[in-house]
Structure 1
Amino acid sequence: MIGRLRVFKETLAGAGALRSTIKDQLSFLASHLGTSGDKFHDILAQTHSVQFEDKTGICLGMNWIIDKEKGVIWHNGGTGGYSSFIGFNKEKQSGVVILSNYAPSFSKKDSLDHIGFNILEKLCSNEL
């Protein structure tokens, strides 16, 4: 079993080798929103431009999913019992980061994405 675990960890290193904290992610979010005062905003803003759009209106930036209708840029991830969500609205200067120690849910109602979008919607409408 130990040999299998090592292979599993090595195989998924690209997806799960990135380790972060909520503090790191909130700094990353602030850089994308341009509120951090650092020099990275202009560089990161280039990743927000649409690189691909399919017939259903789904847009992709550089590693971002872009909802042009709602003005939301987001991404998620999950592996090995952990999942995450980051989403933001540059116009409203609002964003949310969720890090979870639960595996990703495939149920739309229970997914981290659903929770993140609901929080972001409330932040953008000043309900929170």
Structure 2
Amino acid sequence: MTMRPPPPARVPTLTEVVSLPEAPGAANVSPPAASPTAFARTEPAPLAAVEPVAPRPLDEDEIVQRVLADLQRQVELMLEVKLREALAPALTRATDALMREARNELASTLRDVVARAVSQEISRHRGR
């Protein structure tokens, strides 16, 4: 049986806080390479305080545009629902009438075709 070494007393973390230089020409500078000891931080770096953004004054035209856009969406939705409710029965009746008419026309055409075929067959038998 082999003896394993004891676990380390402290495990390094994989986070590192990198502060970027604020010089105008610093955009072309690459960040510094992480050193092996940089990963051994146990406390996070303090966060910079964020100042609250002051609310901007209400613009009456912007409010009017938002309200109109909201109303337009609601009206369009309501109109679509009402149109569907009103058109559904009418479309059902129209479809039923169209199907009846198509069936009647098909039955009439089928009767004509069968009548011609029967008369042709009778005339062939008489001709023999």
Shorter-chain TM-score category? under 0.3
Structure 1 or 2: more helix by fraction: 2
Relative contact order, higher structure (CA 8 A, sep 6+): 2
Q: TM-score, normalised by structure 2?
A: 0.22
Which of the pair is proportionally richer in strand?
Answer: 1
Instruction: Please say which structure displays the higher CA radius of gyration.
Output: 2
